[in-house]
Amino acid sequence: MVKLAPEILSKYVLSKFVSNDPNVLIGAEVGEDAAVVKTSDDVVVIHPDPISGAVKFLGYLAIKIPANDVAVSGAYPKYFTTVLLLPEKTSVDELNVITSSMKEALEELKASLVGGHTEYTDSVSRPIAITTAFGFTKRGKVITSKGAKEDDVVIMTKSAGIEGTAVIASDFRELLKARGIDDETIEEGVKMIKHVSVVEEATILSDLGVVTSMHDPTEGGVLCGLAEVAYASKTSLIIHLDKIKIHPTTLKLSSVLGVNPLKMLSSGALIATVPKSYVDLALDTLSRKGIDAYVIGEVVKGGSDRPLVTLMSGGKFKEALWEPHVEDEVIKLWERMTT
């Protein structure tokens, strides 16, 4: 699946569903991860996500990915519903793999699947899971992508391309082997699926009350996630590429397939903006919990004459991103291999 370009999404989709209900605090917007609806003194944070490309880990990702988007809004993902659309020839064994991995993810989050729908259909060629996550928090604790402020510092957790690494290691195993990647390295890539959640670090930062925005970079990778934060908050980001960590396994697998790790599925990395006075507190708290976090850039004044993201390396300009859309290179790889 490929995201719609922002201008098409805004004109033909989002503009038709602007809510006048005062209880809808955050509706569907470009760059925002979840909707927020008021319920008395609390709010419910809601986010749906379709998963289709990752065959082996479909059920696991169908829970962890929408859970991330609720968590970065300041709520803990507690309840889920899912719609499973299965090709007519899907076996019981394949269905069992999907639902078993979904159960594993729910148990890790201590969350519950409370409803949904499952059907066989000739409308799909491979299984699709469309899952909605629900979380609850207080109105004053809601965090949005649009909250980044000028002079904030941009921090990131873990490394770029975690989800993409697991997907290509699992679904392109034979191609990787044909290009000289050994089984041990491929298995290391597959195991990275266990690191796609950002719920823990998002919850820690939310509870600290030190972040102005949080975002879970998915399709389009870290670069797209950064551009979405800048777009939503009407700011500009200066990002130092040499500060962004990339796992050695990610580098190996992406290199042989000609994939840019900064433009590949990146669930597992959290992007957050923090006022300068709170950066040390945020990083130290995450470190004490065993979560690797570090500074990758800063937020500056935005404007129509400024790019959303300015990419630097070694103190020198490398590239500017002007749109909140980056084509995901794992998805492009899938398209090349299946057409």
Locate tokens 């569907």: which residue?
28
Phi, psi of 309 (to 5 degrees): -135, 130
Q: CA quadruple 170, 176, 182, 185: dihedral positive or negative? A: negative
Strand 213-215 versus strand 271-274 pairing type: antiparallel
Domain ranges of the chain: 21-141, 145-338
What pLDDT was estimated at residue 125?
87
The residue type at 256: V
Level-2 CATH architecture, domain 145-338: Alpha-Beta Complex (3.90)
Separation of alpha carbons 148 and 155, rounded Å: 12
Locate tokens 């939503």: which residue?
232
Q: pLDDT tens track of the chain, all 339 residues?
A: 455 567 776 776 667 556 677 767 776 566 665 666 667 678 888 899 998 855 578 999 999 999 999 999 999 998 888 888 888 888 888 888 888 888 999 999 998 887 778 888 899 988 999 999 999 898 888 998 899 999 999 999 999 999 999 989 988 999 999 999 999 999 999 999 999 999 999 999 999 999 999 999 999 999 999 999 999 999 999 999 999 999 999 999 999 999 999 999 999 999 999 999 999 999 999 999 999 999 999 999 999 999 999 999 999 999 999 999 999 998 888 777 765
Note the maximum CA span of the chain: 58
Identical topology for domains 21-141 and 145-338 = no
Rounded to two decimals, what is the model's pTM? 0.86
What pLDDT was estimated at residue 109?
95
Phi, psi of 150 (to 5 degrees): -55, 135
**Domain 21-141 belongs to what topology?**
60s Ribosomal Protein L30; Chain: A; (3.30.1330)
What pLDDT was estimated at residue 1?
45
Q: Please report, for residues 61, 116, 133, 207, 308, the alpha-carbon distance to residue 233 in angstroms, rounded to integers and kept in the order given.
A: 28, 34, 24, 22, 10
What pLDDT was estimated at residue 22?
76
Phi, psi of 249 (to 5 degrees): -65, -40
Give the DSSP H or E segment for 167.
Answer: helix 162-171
What pLDDT was estimated at residue 91?
85
- Tokens coding 339: 């057409």
